[in-house]
Structure 1
């Protein structure tokens, strides 16, 4: 196998015209250059230079090797720089999983910062609920994912994951304008025991949280509509067909609706970033820093950093 160090020496000898000049350019001794050229000649099976008492003359093979070798060395240098950029995070790929409300409120800020800091990096997004993205993180198909857990629906994370708390979201009661409960600054769940409710899909953490909240107050919610799209939930509430319990990231002030915190109980949804502890992607730290910075930008009355 040809040694690229020896190849570089041969190319430099042809360009410099002597072993001594090549040695000065490479920072070697003339003896080291001579030894490397001899080793390369043994590897290719042909003498590359006619050696005189005070000069050398490159053979045709040396000229050919110098021309093609220079191209190879330039390509190798470029490859080496690309690898260095990859391992230092200047280039590479980061794969981010997220859930819909974080996609709308947090992720755009994070992607903007990461794009600014690492313009040559490739950023991929995958949107799904926590139960769907966690297997992808564990399998290595995602580098980091934004996930959530409700106070009344606690969950544990696999031991292989590192969990970084990001945001605490208050749960808000979304009411149509003119609803009697909207006259107060806070709402008791018991005041809505006869209301029609709009909830997320059956079996989701949001739906389970609503059911448990109402059960703790002595009633079962009458759920008449379900949607995982908070835009649809807002539209249904605004149309006056029901009320809803929404996390702060899912709430956007709009005409026709009012949002009120719960009275007498503080319920929150907790947003975290999770990644495999063993993940060595050099862009991971930059991605986490970008997400943390993005969370600072969305802080507000009902959204606080964890």
Structure 2
């Protein structure tokens, strides 16, 4: 196997024209350079230099090897540089999947905190519902960690090797248009609520399925005037007087004027907010994510 040090020395001898000059450039004696070239000749089985009492002349084989050696040395240096860069903190990354409300009201703030900026790492974010995000945590998948929710007892099928940690409970609030004349925190009876038009979450989602069941158990069969997969849009529609809705507390963080949260004891529902991560995720970055987002949720 060829010695890279010997190839580097050969390239300098050919560039500078003598053993002495190459030795001065590399920090070797002329004798040490000569010994390296002799070792290279033995390893390759080729005569690289014609030596005389007055000079040392490279052969055609040496010139050809020197050209290839330069290319090989550049490639090796590129590989070493890439390897070093991959271990620098600034080049580390954490790939996170997150549902929209958590991206807006939790993750965005966490990215600005010292808990994350102090890591020197980059976060690559994919926004989607849990059903779309969770498969990315499988071994060799495109995600390291995820922030997800679970509504009621609806199950999340986790890939093998994924760890789950509870972060917070997120209670649903019943919201109605302020224009309907109700006050914040007012108790509303089921009859009046059932007579209102409703904005519900998109059909087929776990949210919509569970909310439908809660309403049905309370004897409410809503007249649906809109379906939305974005709670911000839902709140805007409520503010515009379009109907009532059930919205998680987290999504209420930036509710617009014109939305009133009322008390309806018969309608109790919450969702669990959780962090998930794969077994090969960078442990220190996951710890920052879980602790930081958990703190933000505890004060929201």
Give me the TM-score of the superposition, normalised by structure 1.
0.72
Q: How does 1:262-301 map to 2 (within 5 A)?
A: 263=265, 267-277=269-279, 279=280, 282=282, 285-286=284-285, 289-290=288-289, 292-294=291-293, 296-297=295-296, 299-300=298-299
Closer, same or farther: CA 70–240 of 1 in aligned 2, 3 Å = same
Question: Shift in Å at residue 157 of structure 1?
Answer: 3.0
The DSSP-based 3-state class of the residue aligned with 2:183 is: helix
Contact 1:170 1:261 in 2 (8 A): no
Spell out, residue by residue over 1:76-125, the C-alpha distance to the aligned partner (whole angstroms, 9 max, x if none): 23421222332555426543322221222233234556577446x5x543
**How many angstroms apart in 2 are the aligned matches of 1:56 and 1:248?**
86
Mapped partners of 2:7, 2:235: distance in 1: 69
Which residue number corresponds to residue 209 of structure 1? 210
RMSD of aligned alpha carbons: 4.2
- Give distance in 2, aligned partners of 1:57 and 1:237: 90
User: Kindly tell me: are residues 82 and 111 of structure 1, through their superposed partners in 2, closer, same or farther at Cα, counting changes over 3 Å?
Assistant: farther
Identify the residue that residue 238 of structure 1 maps to in structure 2. Answer: 239
Segments of structure 2 that go 5 or more residues without pairing to the other structure are none
Residue 220 of structure 1: aligned partner: 220
Q: Name 1:254's counterpart in structure 2.
A: 256
Structure 1: 5+ residue stretches without partners:
none
Change beyond 3 A, Cα 1:288–1:226: farther
Shift of 1:245: 1.0
Distance in structure 2 (CA, Å) of the matches to 1:38 and 1:223? 92
Q: Residues of 2 paired with 1:78 and 1:7: CA distance?
A: 16
Deviation at 1:211, TM superposition (A): 2.4
Deviations 1:198-229 (A, max 9, x none): 2101221211222232344x313414121112
**Residues 175 and 136 of structure 1: CA distance in aligned 2, closer, same or farther (over 3 Å):** same
Q: Structure 1 17/203 Cα, relative in aligned 2: closer, same or farther at 3 Å? A: same
